[in-house]
Amino acid sequence: MKIRTTEIEDTFAEAFRMWGARVVITAETRQWALAAARSMTGFATSVIGCKCEAGIERELPAAQTPDRRPGIAVLLFAMDREGVGKRLLERIGQCVMTCPTTACYDGLSATERVAVGSQLRYFGDGFQASKMVGDRRLWRIPVMDGEFVVDESFGVQPAVGGGNLLILGRDSRVTSAAARAAVKAMRSIPGIILPFPDGVVRSGSKVGSRYKALPASTNDAYCPTLRSVTATSALAEGVNCVLEIVVDGLDLSAVEDAMRTGMHAAARRGIPTISAGNYGGTLGQYSIHLQTLLGR
């Protein structure tokens, strides 16, 4: 199966059950909201080393935010409900509450809830106050530029992490261009994030290592410089660069839509193959078959 001149390998991406939350950050200006969102999503590329995966989902016009100010929607994922709650508390407290003029609101209408504002309120040292707006309780925490407003609790829901595409290219230039095009197209899909830097990762990993202390190590099968020395190389002659795009989503269909969109955008001359990473179906709960996605 091909898209233009690019072969879509008959393989699958192995994805995992996760839990996710959506945070809406608002501020007096787009710049302050974006600053808080970037800070909150820093060091959040992989649960392996960062305890969570987070990214900016989209910008929100003032008409679509609770307080009618410019906003940024952030998605955050962890392996369980408790993990999402801990990371939200840490990152909203350290990265959003600290940023001038910001407020922070729950962006999911989910039944499962985790405490955030009800914990952050203690920073107010007794001067904090709560108020009801409709059916939501907000906390007003005094800070040096006025007050920080935050929802008492945030919704969390089951989610999907680890969808991925491997873009196998002739050289770094064409592969980077294909990856950037895929990222741009995939970010048009609501409900997903691409957690690595500008959506792309070059240091793909495999499970395990020769060193017992490491749970993961470089994916030697896709390292061009190891083609002649590793017995597991998956690279044909002429493939000299591989870039990966990892996608997390609030549901499986969003991840699948993003992967399908990414394949169509990345396919071009100089990209002989698009593939995906998996562990033989032994670890993840979801197997997302590339050719099946295109057949739909």
Task: Dump pLDDT digits (tens) for 124-148.
Answer: 999 999 999 988 999 999 999 999 9
Lowest mean pLDDT among 3-7, 56-60, 84-88, 211-215: 211-215
Between CA 208 and CA 217 the distance in angstroms is 6
**In this structure, how many other beta carbons lie within 10 angstroms of the beta carbon of residue 24?**
24
Q: Are residues 224 and 124 in the same domain?
A: no
What single string gives the DSSP state of each residue in 159-205? EEEEEEEEEEESSHHHHHHHHHHHHHHHTTSTTEE--SGGG-BS--E
Predicted confidence band of residue 218 (pLDDT cuts 50, 70, 90)? very high
Task: Dump pLDDT digits (tens) for 154-181.
Answer: 999 999 999 999 999 999 999 999 999 9
Mean pLDDT of 81-87: 98
Q: For position 147, what pLDDT does the model report?
A: 98
Q: Are residues 47 and 99 in the same domain?
A: yes
Q: For position 271, what pLDDT does the model report?
A: 98
Query: Is the pLDDT assigned to residue 202 strictly greater than 90?
Result: yes
CATH number at 98 reads: 3.30.70.520
Query: Is the pLDDT assigned to residue 276 strictly greater than 80?
Result: yes
Strands 273-275 and 6-8, by their bridges, are: parallel
Beta strands (DSSP E) in 9-135 are 12-26, 53-60, 71-78, 103-106, 113-115, 129-133
Query: Is the pLDDT assigned to residue 241 strictly greater than 90?
Result: yes
Tokens coding 177: 């261009």
Predicted confidence band of residue 268 (pLDDT cuts 50, 70, 90)? very high
Between CA 164 and CA 100 the distance in angstroms is 36
Q: Which residues contact 138 (CB under 8 A, 6 or more apart)?
A: 117, 130, 131, 132, 149, 150, 151, 152
Mean pLDDT of 216-222: 95
Q: For position 264, what pLDDT does the model report?
A: 98
Of 140, 157, 174, which marks where a domain is finished? 157
Helix or strand run (H / E) with residue 155: strand 153-155
DSSP 109: -
Mean pLDDT of 44-48: 96
Q: For position 3, what pLDDT does the model report?
A: 97
Predicted confidence band of residue 296 (pLDDT cuts 50, 70, 90)? confident
Tokens coding 287: 């197997």
Q: Are residues 206 and 224 in the same domain?
A: yes
Q: For position 113, what pLDDT does the model report?
A: 98
Q: Are residues 90 and 106 in the same domain?
A: yes
Predicted confidence band of residue 288 (pLDDT cuts 50, 70, 90)? very high
Report which of 186, 220, 189, 188 is spatially closest to residue 200, judged by C-alpha positions.
186
Of 157, 192, 225, which marks where a domain is finished? 157
Q: Are residues 26 and 134 in the same domain?
A: yes
Of 157, 182, 217, which marks where a domain is finished? 157
Average pLDDT score over the chain: 97
What residue numbers bound the domain in which 236 lies? 2-14+159-295
**Dihedrals φ, ψ of 152, to 5°?**
-60, -40
Q: Are residues 227 and 244 in the same domain?
A: yes
Helix or strand run (H / E) with residue 234: none
Q: Are residues 38 and 130 in the same domain?
A: yes
Q: Are residues 110 and 212 in the same domain?
A: no
Burial (CB count <10 Å: 0-12, 13-18, 19+), residue 30? middle
Mean pLDDT of 216-227: 96
Q: Are residues 163 and 153 in the same domain?
A: no
Q: Are residues 152 and 168 in the same domain?
A: no
Q: Say how many residues make up the chain.
A: 296
Indicate the pTM of the whole model: 0.96
Number of domains, the chain: 2
Between CA 179 and CA 186 the distance in angstroms is 10
Q: For position 47, what pLDDT does the model report?
A: 95
Q: Are residues 28 and 112 in the same domain?
A: yes
Predicted confidence band of residue 72 (pLDDT cuts 50, 70, 90)? very high
**Percentage of the residues of the chain whose pLDDT score is greater than 70:** 100
Between CA 80 and CA 84 the distance in angstroms is 7
Q: Are residues 23 and 114 in the same domain?
A: yes
Predicted confidence band of residue 285 (pLDDT cuts 50, 70, 90)? very high
Indicate the angle between helix axes 252-266 and 172-186, nearest 10 degrees: 140
